[in-house]
Amino acid sequence: MLQKCKEDQQLSISQKNLTTNIIQMKEAKCPAEELLKSIAGKWKPQILKLAIDNPIRFNALLRQLEGATKQAIATALKELETEGILSKETIKLKPLHIEYSLTEKGKKIIPLLQQLEDF
């Protein structure tokens, strides 16, 4: 069941400057909204689909995602890594390369993506 998302606003008046500030305080974060934000973007869902079975490399993504730029893929990968959805591993074999794989959190997201595709 989805948790209700609410935002409360608190009015705070600074007597020194006689200015009014609105401070937004979130009562509770909406899990569905947070999840959708973390996977939103043109390339993120496609990157996740490609990472389902095996780790993926940057150049492989560049070849498979037609129309994607290096910058767009790099940004999407960094954001997915920051969100804890992908992990980055440096493989120290020659030639040196980096592989991205789904984390446990990322693996839990895949069924949700598949349901969204079916919708």
| Rounded distance between C-alpha atoms, residue 43 and residue 61, angstroms | 10
22 in a structural domain: no
14 in a structural domain: no
Number of domains present in the structure of the chain: 1
16 in a structural domain: no
| Rounded distance between C-alpha atoms, residue 26 and residue 109, angstroms | 24
89 in a structural domain: yes
pLDDT of residue 107: 93
17 in a structural domain: no
pLDDT of residue 12: 52
Name the pTM for this structure.
0.71
The conformation of residue 10, written as its DSSP 8-state character, comes to E
Over its length of 119 residues, how does the chain's per-residue pLDDT go in tens digits?
444 554 444 445 555 555 444 444 454 578 888 888 888 889 999 999 999 999 999 999 999 999 999 999 999 999 999 999 999 999 888 888 899 999 999 999 999 888 888 88
Amino acid at 118: D
84 in a structural domain: yes
57 in a structural domain: yes
65 in a structural domain: yes
State the residue range of the domain holding 80.
31-118
What CATH number did the domain enclosing 64 receive?
1.10.10.10
